[in-house]
Amino acid sequence: MSTHFASPPVNSLVLYKIRPARVVSIGEKIEIELADGQTKRVRAKDIELLHPGPLRTLSDLTHQEGELTAAWELLEGSDTTLQDLAELAFNAFTPATAWATWQLVAEGLSFSGRPQAIQVRSREQVERERAEREAKAAAERDWQAFLERMTTARPIPEDRPRLEEVERLALGQSEHSRVLDALGYQQTPEHAQRMLVQVDYWEARHNPHPQRCRAATEDPQLAVPALPDDERVDLTHLCAYAIDDEGNQDPDDALSLDGERLWVHVADVAALVAPDSEIDREARSRGANLYLPERIINMLPAAITEQLGLGLQPVSPALSFGFCCDAAGELQDIQICRSWVRVERLSYEAVEPLLTSEPFAAIHAITRRFQARRVAHGATRLDLPEVSVRIVDQQIVICPLPRLASRALVMDAMLMAGEAVARLCLNHDIPIPFATQIPPDSGEEASDLAGMFARRRAFKPTRLTIEPAAHAGLGLPLYTRATSPLRRYSDLLVHQQLRAWLSDQKTLSAAEVMPRCAEADMASVTVRRAERFSNQHWKLLFLKEHPEWRGEGVVVGLEERKVMVLLPELALETRVRTRDEVKLNQSLRIAVNEVDVPELTASFRVVN
């Protein structure tokens, strides 16, 4: 228990906080002098007597040589006072020896307590305390060495645990990092990413967005069942064409023409993925394939795509939708069957020059009739720039997607299949998720970029509902997604319902369909977000690696002091300042100004 003297003598040595002080005078308050020569007026309870003096100057508190270790060994495990300890260690109790003794007590290794009640620690306590202090000192030296390595960007393998702490913040898995604090970075995923790149823990190109968005980053590793021995219609005599982008790895739809009947064949994924199976639950939790410039992460095991992808095997099992299209673009005589098909894979570019040859000319005529009907019913035509972003041989390749008639042909054929399936399911009371979209509140059809840019903003997102309704953007009174079951869970769900109906088995109820659909839809939102951020990441890396980039920008929006510009070559939107007055759809020559990859931002300027 500490003792405070009500009136320490003038010229006595006292302890003020952790510093020595000399009492100068005593009055209502006590005036003390500190080692730097300053004086303070304090209360008696603010100081503690170490020696009654006389002490003429604090400079008299010089270094003292004594037998401190011997004193500790003699007193080990007992209690003592400051005076007794000083006399034992220094053979004298003076202001200088009192201060030297107190410094030893304050160190807290061999002794602890207050001047009038000092505890002398045992050897075991001292050794434990010394070991803890040495470990703490070693840890601090190690920490400082680590910070030095980070400052000079020279990490070593032993730094991984500390950098993993930063990585967790960079991936949005935690909110604080001691390392970022010490290095002066803000506590955000973007600054954590910046730090990891700067110290060479992450490569400059590292894409954190899939993990940051909580998307799956590996294909599911699940056992795939054998294909059941279903009765199937043999359609292998029909020429079937899977038309897609060059390099496509998951072909799940193909077209055939049988007289006036158009067949849309779709990979029969539901044959291998039963409702509520382990594969089904995993696919539902993912929602859709994740398409990144650097790779694809599938919602289904790779073995399913290898077995069912149309054209990946000599003969493929399919769910085939057949229908005719009359002169008004209306679908007639809708059929559905499990089938065998023989598929040839072609790219859009390869099909484009064949559109005047059979069977593509006839297919094109059918899809154009259907398209004309959609347009007459308000289908929106948005011809905004699109690009493909891919990593090829470590190079970032950004290619504008040309507006090919072959691409429109395939899209309309898939929309025909979607309408056909929706009508069939409605007529037979098969619960499925219908894809619906309400008309926009405002805006008119436009043929210029600025008009289409504004028109796109006016549309509400597509919704999946159990109640049938029109899809305004497609110009269809009824529609469902049914042609991408390898890539999208809602399509697989539709296939599972159709398979049950074809087999005279009980289908899922509406109350069972919508929770499944909602779970997958939420997951697919994550997937689309990861795709959007990843594409932006690689586009900005392209600009950072090509600082000399120049390109065309089209004015699509006018704002105060800035204009919204669309860069068709990159399918990138940005705001730029311009001194001159500009008009909508005016072309500007644009140069990259500054790129911040972690923040996913870039600034541009107008150049002559």
pLDDT in tens, 213-261: 999 999 999 999 999 999 999 999 999 999 998 888 889 999 999 999 9
pLDDT at 3: 44
Confidence at 479, pLDDT banded by 50, 70, 90: very high
**In sequence order, which residues have a C-beta less than 8 Å from that of residue 380 and are 6 or more positions away?**
445, 455, 459, 472, 473, 475
Statement: residue 445 has pLDDT above 80 = no
CATH number, position 179: 1.10.10.10
Statement: residue 350 has pLDDT above 80 = yes
Residue 536 neighbours by CB distance under 10 Å: 17
User: Based on the domain organization, do 43 and 104 belong to the same domain?
Assistant: yes
Q: Quick one: average pLDDT of 304-312?
A: 94
User: Based on the domain organization, do 554 and 500 belong to the same domain?
Assistant: no
Statement: residue 523 has pLDDT above 80 = yes
Question: Global pTM?
Answer: 0.82
Q: Domain ends where: 182, 202, 222?
A: 202
The helix or strand, by DSSP H or E, that contains position 473, with its residue range, turns out to be none
Position 219 in a domain:
no
Position 436 in a domain:
yes
Q: Domain ends where: 506, 537, 568?
A: 537
pLDDT at 1: 37
CATH number, position 584: 2.40.50.140
What's the start-to-end Cα distance of the chain, in Å?
82
The helix or strand, by DSSP H or E, that contains position 570, with its residue range, turns out to be none
List helix spans (H) across 399-448: 405-427
Model confidence pLDDT, tens digit, residues 28-85? 899 999 999 999 999 999 999 999 999 999 999 999 999 988 999 999 999 999 999 9
Percent of the chain with pLDDT over 70: 98
pLDDT at 4: 45
Statement: residue 379 has pLDDT above 70 = yes
Position 243 in a domain:
yes
**In sequence order, which residues have a C-beta less than 8 Å from that of residue 464 and are 6 or more positions away?**
433, 434, 435, 436, 490, 517, 521
pLDDT at 2: 43
Mean pLDDT across the chain, nearest whole number? 93
Q: Quick one: average pLDDT of 144-150?
A: 94
Statement: residue 6 has pLDDT above 70 = no
Position 226 in a domain:
no
Statement: residue 381 has pLDDT above 50 = yes
User: Based on the domain organization, do 315 and 169 belong to the same domain?
Assistant: no
User: Based on the domain organization, do 341 and 389 belong to the same domain?
Assistant: yes
User: Based on the domain organization, do 555 and 511 belong to the same domain?
Assistant: no
Q: Quick check: bond before 439 cis, omega within 30?
A: no
Q: Domain ends where: 485, 517, 537?
A: 537
Position 126 in a domain:
no
User: Based on the domain organization, do 290 and 372 belong to the same domain?
Assistant: yes
Position 448 in a domain:
yes
Q: How many structural domains comprise the chain?
A: 4
Write down the number of H helices and E strands in the chain: 16, 26
Q: Report d(CA 144, CA 133) in Å as an integer.
A: 16
Statement: residue 5 has pLDDT above 60 = no
Name the 3-class secondary structure at 471: strand
Confidence at 578, pLDDT banded by 50, 70, 90: confident
Range of the domain at 556: 546-606
User: Based on the domain organization, do 51 and 193 belong to the same domain?
Assistant: no
Position 257 in a domain:
yes
Position 129 in a domain:
no
